[in-house]
Amino acid sequence: MLTVLLASALAVAALMTVTALVARRRRQVVVVDAAWGTGFVLVAVVCAALGDAPVRWLLLAMVGVWGLRLARHTLTRLLQSGEEDPRYAELLDGKPFSYAVTRVFLTQGVAMWFVSLPVQVAAVTETRWWWVVAVGVVVWAVGLVFETVGDAQLAAYKKQPKESRPKVMDQGLWRYTRHPNYFGDACVWWGIWLVGLGGGLVGLATVLSPAVMTYFLVFATGAKLLEKTMMQREGYPEYAERTSMFVPLPPRKQPVS
């Protein structure tokens, strides 16, 4: 297990170093978003190569499908935009690039390694409870659907002419949660954790990994941070009043004026 943990840490460190160099050359810290999904896939590959538990191949497939889709999606968005993400622009306003190295690249690298602990531990742990693994795959699949469909629905909305489309995207999955992609992301990692939990109590020790991922998605770099910008848009406060922020729920009925 120590070998897998160390090799995963080295792989993440190498990836984030390369990403930081690319970001400095492009003068866009947002390129780190494209490395996020790729980094988890890299860890899963390392675990599959060095581990000995059969479930490591299932985890490689699960992380691979999720991570490569996310990397492709974020890279496409980055190339189309060509601009810095407002979140990073605000965070790094007036600060040197060295600040981004510690606050963004180092932080996300450590988070990536920590969140992927269930994959690392499961790669060297014999599976005992296959029914838990099955539940994990179902939760992962639900998350992948929410993330994929949510992103596709938002992309279709953005392709509509601004003058004719609704002011706020509130259709499809976005009718039940203001952030279906973030909710899906959380489900994916709780599902992966459950697959690792199939190995017994040693898997339980990694429960903080999906908890930290959920915290990032809701409070740190995800929904709450994005909400600060979105609340300035016309129609969004009204949308927020009737729609759950994270967990999908039926829209709240608005009082009749």
Q: Which residue has the tokens 């016309």?
A: 234
Distance CA 252, CA 246 (A): 14
Distance of CA 3 to the CA centre of its chain: 26
- 257 — pLDDT class (breaks 50, 70, 90): low
Q: Return mean pLDDT, the chain.
A: 90
Q: What is the DSSP string of 148-195?
A: HHHHHHHHHHHHS-TTTS-SS--SGGGGT-S-HHHHHHHHHHHHHHHH
Do residues 255 and 241 touch, judged by C-beta distance below 8 A? no
pLDDT at 233: 87
Do residues 175 and 153 touch, judged by C-beta distance below 8 A? no
Q: Return the higher-pLDDT residue of 44 and 89.
A: 44
Provide the percentage of residues in the chain whose pLDDT is more than 70. Answer: 96
pTM for this one? 0.90
Cβ neighbours, 10 Å, residue 46: 24
167 CB contacts (<8 Å, ≥6 apart)?
Answer: 233, 234, 235, 236
Q: Is 27 left (phi over 0), alpha (psi -120 to 50) or beta?
A: left
For residue 51, the one-letter residue type is: G
Tens digits of residue pLDDT in 6-36: 999 999 999 999 999 998 888 888 888 889 9
